[in-house]
Amino acid sequence: MAAGTRQGLKLALIQLAVGKDKSVNVSRACDYISQAAKAGAQLIALPECFNSPYGTQYFSQYAETVPDGESSKALAAAAKQHNVYVHGGSVPERDGDKLYNTSVFYGPDGSVLGKYRKMHLFDIDIPGKIRFKESETLSPGNGLTIVDTPWCKIGLGICYDLRFYELAGLMTQKGAELLLYPGAFNMTTGPKHWELLQRGRANDNQCFVACASPARDETAGYVAWGHSSIVDPWGAVLASADEKEGVVYADLDFNVVDEVRSSIPTGQQKRHDVYKLGDS
């Protein structure tokens, strides 16, 4: 660990087994928040679509207004009850006639500190393996969300956003030192890219990256890879789950961010004067 005076953060990722009963999903998420808070976690993060099965056929049925819906109110109350910060994974959000995949970040008083709508929708087609088109039901978000906390600035993304280094780069340029991506990678992309992308974004941006996944359910229509993980600014995996339900913990030392960025100062060496599209 690096020597320094910055305040450390105990982070918990909840790898939740998500079923078809929304109220049960929300109640169990709050139970895990209580468990993690009692274990000393100061920031507790949930997975993508923690209150709903992941699938285009479910998004409209499970959608709610944010932050006034059932799930949001429960997480706000849990954050306040346990005096912790809560990153609410994501939920299907209804806003007028549009649906979004939305994250909300709550303070220890239950207030909403940030809201992010998934910017890059998960539209893929791998012949013979998986086809999924979020855009069949969801609309994309169009803005960055960076939250101020006592430890650092935290940038928010969701799942497929992890593949886009431009988004991570913008968030770290704006001061983020921890990037949170709740995500439900599948049994095709998970083993190939889940850890690779987390370590890549951490290394590219010399920051912490944490990704909470749902637990794996082999009977579900969409089977999540699991393996919720926390990666440090060197690109090393600090903690990781297997495929089963549970909680992953790690102590984040933000002096390490300073150490890495001063030792290998790529942030100061970028050639923004050259990184432009134009005539060759």
| Active-site option among 30, 49, 152, 159 | 159
Q: Which of 118, 243, 245, 259 is catalytic?
A: 118
- Of the listed 22, 30, 48, 211, which one is catalytic? 48
For the full predicted model, state whether its pTM sits above 0.75.
yes
What is the mean pLDDT of the segment spanning 62-85?
A: 98
Does the active-site annotation cover 152?
no
Give the Å distances, CA to CA, from 273 to 26, 262, 269, 276, 280: 48, 22, 11, 7, 14
Q: Known catalytic residue: 211? A: no
Question: What is residue 276's predicted lDDT score, i.e. its pLDDT?
Answer: 84
Task: Say if residue 62's pLDDT is above 70.
Answer: yes
Task: With a cut of 50, say whether residue 154 has pLDDT above it.
Answer: yes
Q: Which of 119-133, 173-187, 202-216 has the lowest mean pLDDT?
A: 119-133
**48 labelled catalytic:** yes
Phi, psi of 204 (to 5 degrees): -55, -45
Instruction: State residue 257 phi and psi, 5-degree precision.
Output: -60, -45
Amino acid 280: pLDDT: 58
- Give pLDDT, residue 257: 98
